[in-house]
Amino acid sequence: MIALDNGDKVRGDAAAADIVDYTLHGLVGTTITQLADGQLPGAIGDLYTAGEAGIAVTSIILVNTDVIARAVNLYLTPSGGTERRLIPKDMSLGAGHALITDGIRVSVYDASGNLLTVAGAHKDTHDPIDGSDKLDTAAPVKVGAANAIGSSHSFARADHVHEREHARYTDAEAVAAVKADAGLPIVTITFIIDGGGSAITTGEKGHLRIPFACTINRVTMLADQSGSIVVDIWK
């Protein structure tokens, strides 16, 4: 609470006049009393002046009735003294928000009446292994054939590993996947001519069947042995 002697004042202002409602409640002797009410002025002004010693202000309530945030200030001015701030300078009070202070702490509520809080550093409490409030983490799944947004309420960890399902394709599955992907613009077709440890002899060395329509736009030949050879390709 805020103790007032005779002549002490509670003062305040807002960024715009007649926008922020205020009410002051307290004790006059042992009687609970509404000490003052009104709307904050645009420049510092008196909200309440104690008419006797022993006044205790138990709560000051500010409500921003505007549609935008407004800066507010509250002061205690001792009789014959200099005003001292009761809340942070130019404290921003959101549209429809309420501020309540008892002189010890300040609480702010949103337009729905929810208490606004600021969380301190607490990342370790969400550690998925030994945190006190662990984050849910997902079990690895195989990489699918199509994009999906997913429906799990969990996160993938930094060391989360997916099985490379495409690396497990059989030849038939690989062919089917290529056929099914109409958006695949370029396909590499590989054919190896191997002499089995001896020089490659003349003659046909194989017939490569391409099971889909395509246009051959480039042929690259690589040799892993020295010497020369002539290779003909027929369609």
Q: What is the pLDDT of residues 77-116, one digit of tens each?
A: 999 899 999 999 999 999 999 999 999 999 999 999 999 9
**Higher pLDDT residue, 172 or 198?**
198
What is the rounded CA–CA span in Å between residue 179 and residue 2? 80
Q: Cβ(47)–Cβ(117) under 8 Å?
A: no
CB atoms within 10 A of CB 36: 17
Secondary structure (DSSP) of 19-50: -EEEEEEEEETTEEEEEEEEE--SS-EEEEE-
> How, if at all, do strands 31-39 and 106-109 pair?
unpaired
Digit-coded pLDDT (tens) for 150-189: 777 777 777 777 666 555 566 676 667 666 666 666 777 7
Phi, psi of 111 (to 5 degrees): -65, -15
Q: What is the mean pLDDT of residues 216-232?
A: 81
Digit-coded pLDDT (tens) for 22-67: 999 999 988 999 999 999 999 999 999 999 998 999 999 999 999 9
Q: Where are the domains of the chain?
A: 2-109
Determine the pLDDT at residue 123. 82
> How, if at all, do strands 98-101 and 55-64 pair?
antiparallel
Determine the pLDDT at residue 80. 85
Determine the pLDDT at residue 96. 96
Determine the pLDDT at residue 162. 67
User: Which of 145, 62, 142 shows the shortest CA–CA distance to 99?
Assistant: 62
Question: Which has the minimum average pLDDT: 112-126, 129-143, 147-161, 192-206?
Answer: 147-161
Confidence category of residue 235, pLDDT binned at 50, 70, 90 = confident
The distance of Cα 205 from the centroid of its chain, to the nearest Å, equals 61
